[in-house]
C-alpha cells in the first residue's frame, strides 16, 4: 500500500520520481502532504466564513423588520458562529495531532 503513495519508486533498477517536490522544503511523507493541504484549507475556510458573516449581516440589515427575513438572517449568522467554532476546533486538533506525532510543528 505504501508504494502507491511513494514519491519515488524503483523497479528493476529504473526509478520514477513523483510530481511533488522533495527535499528539506518538499513533501517527503504523508504528514508533509497533510500539512500542505491544511495550510491551504484553513485560510480558505476563514474566507468563506467571512463571506457568510457578511451575507448574514447584509440580510439582517435589509430585512426591514420582516420577521421571516430576520429569522433567515439570524440563521445565517448562527451558521457562521458554528462554522467559526468548528474552524478553531479543527485548527487546534491539527496542531495537537501534529505535535503528538512530531510532524514538524504542525501548520503555521
Beta bridge partners, 8, equal 17
- What's the domain count of the chain? 1
- Tell me which residue of 54, 55, 83, 59 sits closest to 71, measured CA to CA: 59
Structural domain that includes position 72: 29-101
Query: Is there a domain that residue 94 lies in?
Result: yes
Q: Which residue has the higher pLDDT, 68 or 19?
A: 68
Buried b (16+ CB within 10 A) or exposed e, 28-64: eeebbebbeebeeebeebeeebeebbeebeebeeebe
Task: Tell me, yes or no, whether 11 lies in a domain.
Answer: no
Report the distance separating Cα 106 and Cα 108, nearest Å: 7
pTM of the complete model: 0.66
| 14, containing H or E segment | strand 14-17
36 inside domain: yes
Which set of grid coordinates corresponds to residue 18? 513523483
- 21 is a domain residue: no
Residue 82 pLDDT class (50, 70, 90 cuts): very high
**CA distance linking residue 76 with residue 56, whole number of Å:** 5
Whether residue 8 is contained in a domain is answered as no
Pick the more confident residue, 82 or 32: 82
Task: Identify whether 73 is part of a domain.
Answer: yes
Read off the pLDDT of residues 25-72 as tens digits, 9 standing for 90 and up.
Answer: 777 777 777 778 888 888 898 899 999 999 999 999 999 989 999 999
Q: Is residue 9 part of a domain?
A: no
Amino acid at each position: 500500500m505504501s508504494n502507491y503513495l511513494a514519491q519515488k519508486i524503483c523497479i528493476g533498477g529504473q526509478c520514477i520520481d513523483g510530481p511533488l517536490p522533495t527535499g528539506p522544503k518538499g513533501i517527503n511523507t504523508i504528514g508533509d502532504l497533510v500539512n500542505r493541504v491544511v495550510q491551504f484549507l484553513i485560510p480558505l475556510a476563514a474566507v468563506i466564513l467571512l463571506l457568510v458573516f457578511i451575507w448574514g449581516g447584509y440580510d439582517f440589515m435589509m430585512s426591514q423588520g420582516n420577521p421571516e427575513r430576520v429569522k433567515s438572517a439570524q440563521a445565517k449568522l448562527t451558521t457562521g458562529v458554528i462554522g467559526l467554532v468548528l474552524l478553531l476546533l479543527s485548527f487546534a486538533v491539527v496542531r495537537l495531532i501534529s505535535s503528538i506525532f512530531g510532524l514538524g510543528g504542525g501548520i503555521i
